[in-house]
Structures are given as structure tokens and as C-alpha cells.
Amino acid sequence: MTLVDLTIRPRADGNLSRVCVVTLNDPSRRNALSSALVADLIAAIDTAENSPDVGALVITGAHPAFCAGADLGKLATAAPGTRSSKDAEDDLRSIYAAFIRVAECSLPTIAAINGPAVGAGLNLALACDVAVASGSVRFESRFVRLGLHPGGGHTYLLQRAAGRQTASALALFGETLSAEEAASRGLIWRSVEDDKLMALALAMASAAVSVPRDLTTRIKHSIEATAAAQSYGESVDIELLPQLWSLEQPFFVERLARLRAKISTTNSDQEGASRE
């Protein structure tokens, strides 16, 4: 039995590709990251990325949680005296592979956080390009409360999303945030009523798949590359070649022609109205 469900939704009107919904499905364990679940998650992302008609991913969890963090049994086996340090490191890195695979996915990714996203579960959400959440969700790091140092790039992901002060409040001081507070600090993009979460995530994903996949993958690559740019000029250089590429694509030529025709019609209508 798979611990991750993959659903490729039908292509909507006007969309050039389809949205794939990836659901962590181990609700009795609150979708904790076991070795089996991580393997299934990586396989699901591989399947979606290798499907040429999939243009975006939505990652969520089966009720009642998004992801309750790393499997506690896996953490226990990494404790001193239970295994060699190399084996313990391998166990931890096997969990981290989930976040890394999500972060390295070439497709646009949205985390639809429908329940607790704790510790490693928060890593999983923040590894996505955008995170949206149910209004009832609360955000906490929880590592320090367990007496455990954060791992899997937790402090990096927190700082990248919300800055050092928010990262310190969560990871060092054990603070918690409501969904509304998380959105105000940039930890997530938006919070909505619980029953509207998937509609929001799917609407955002549908916007991404309304343009060719080659375009969104190039934009995503540029976002990552310009984040490390040392100057504004370097960021201009990074974007130049993919923008030149897009100018030559039929979809740009067609959309530009439609826009110019619309502007021309609007101007003609305004001129006619002014004569009257």
C-alpha cells in the first residue's frame, strides 16, 4: 500500500498542462516522515516531473495533519548508543531527502497546509515554492521543545521565508504562530478558511499551468539563480537569455497579438465615444 496518493487532474479550459495533487496518506501517524513515506513521496514527484503534461504540483496531507514531522522511531534509532554515527547520519539524511527532492523539483510547487506542519513537516512545506494554509493551522518549529537541534535545513528555510527574527523566535525560543500571523511575516503566502484551502491552491496551480511548462521551469530556475546574485546587474544577465528565448516562442507571439488587438479595439471604442 502506498503512503502517498498522486492525482493528475483533468486539463482545465485554456490550460496547456495539468495540475498534480500529491497527498501524504498515513493519517494514523499524522503523515510523519517514515522511510516508506519519504520513498513514496520521492517516487510521486519523479512520476509527476517525468509526465510531460503535468505543469505544477500541489502537496498536501490526509486529514488531520499536513505532516507531523519526522517519524519518532526514526529519530530514536539515531540516538547515541543505538547505532554508529554513520548509520545515524544516514537515517537523518534519508528523511532530508524528502525536502531536497521537493526543493529541487523543476515544476512549480504549492504546499496546501491543511493541518499541523511541525518540525520536519514545516521543512517540507517551506521547501515548496509557495505555501498556503488553513486558517486554523498553527505553526511551530518544536525542535527546541524536544531538546533537539533543528535539521534538514530548518533554520535556512525559516530565514529564507521570513527572516532571521522569525526564524529565531520559532527555532530558538519555541514561539508559535497562527496562520494569519505566519502570512503577515511571510512564512506562508496566504491563509484562508479551512474549506477554501484546496480551491485556493488549485487556482494558483491552474494559473501556472495556463502557460507552457518550459516557461514556468525557466522562471523558477531564474528565481533560484537571482537569489544568489551578487548585484542587480548580475540578476539582469541571468534573466536575459531566458527572456530572449521566450520572445521567440509562438505562445508569446500569439498572446502579444491578442493583447495588441484588444488595445486597438479599446482605443477605437474610446475614440468613437468621444466623437459622440
> Which CA distances in Å does 125 have to 132, 139, 214?
9, 11, 24
- The residue range of the domain holding 245 is 229-275
Would you state the pLDDT for residue 84?
Answer: 76
Determine, yes or no, domain membership for 224. Answer: no
Same domain? For 168 and 265 the reply is no
Would you state the pLDDT for residue 80?
Answer: 57
Same domain? For 52 and 86 the reply is yes
Check whether 30 has a pLDDT greater than 70: yes
Q: Which three cell numbers stand for residue 125?
A: 512545506
Per the prediction, the chain carries an average pLDDT of: 93
Residues across the chain: 276
C-alpha 153/C-alpha 141 separation (Å) is 12
Q: Let me know: does 137 contact 113? Beta carbons within 8 Å.
A: yes
Burial (0-12, 13-18, 19+ Cβ within 10 Å), 38? buried
Determine, yes or no, domain membership for 222. Answer: no
Same domain? For 177 and 84 the reply is yes
Same domain? For 156 and 266 the reply is no
Total of domains in the chain: 2
Q: Which residues pair with 7 in a beta bridge?
A: 21
C-alpha 15/C-alpha 86 separation (Å) is 48
Would you state the pLDDT for residue 91?
Answer: 86
Determine, yes or no, domain membership for 160. Answer: yes
Confidence of residue 274 (pLDDT cuts 50, 70, 90): low
Q: Which amino acid is at 27?
A: P
Same domain? For 136 and 267 the reply is no
C-alpha 219/C-alpha 110 separation (Å) is 15
Determine, yes or no, domain membership for 245. Answer: yes
Structure confidence by residue, pLDDT tens digits, 66-125? 999 998 776 666 565 666 788 888 888 999 999 999 999 999 999 999 999 999 999 999
Same domain? For 190 and 255 the reply is no
* pTM score of the predicted model: 0.91
Same domain? For 91 and 202 the reply is yes
Same domain? For 235 and 197 the reply is no
Q: Which of 155, 176, 208 delimits the end of a domain?
A: 208
Give the other-Cβ count within 10 Å of 267's Cβ: 10
Closest CA to 139 of 102, 82, 180, 101: 180
ω into residue 242 within 30 of 0, thus cis? Answer: no
Same domain? For 20 and 136 the reply is yes
Q: Which of 177, 208, 239 delimits the end of a domain?
A: 208
Would you state the pLDDT for residue 259?
Answer: 92
Determine, yes or no, domain membership for 18. Answer: yes
Same domain? For 147 and 258 the reply is no
Determine, yes or no, domain membership for 246. Answer: yes
Would you state the pLDDT for residue 75?
Answer: 67
Q: Which residues pair with 19 in a beta bridge?
A: 56
Determine, yes or no, domain membership for 214. Answer: no
C-alpha 199/C-alpha 186 separation (Å) is 21
Q: Which three cell numbers stand for residue 174?
A: 519555541
Same domain? For 93 and 203 the reply is yes
Structure confidence by residue, pLDDT tens digits, 166-200? 999 999 999 999 999 999 999 999 999 999 999 99
Q: What is the CATH classification number for the domain harbouring 188?
A: 3.90.226.10
Confidence of residue 272 (pLDDT cuts 50, 70, 90): low
Give the neighbor-by-neighbor strand order of the sheet with 4-8: 4-8, 18-24, 54-61, 109-113, 130-134, 190-192
Same domain? For 192 and 233 the reply is no
Structure confidence by residue, pLDDT tens digits, 111-169? 999 999 999 999 999 999 999 999 999 999 999 999 999 999 999 999 999 999 999 99
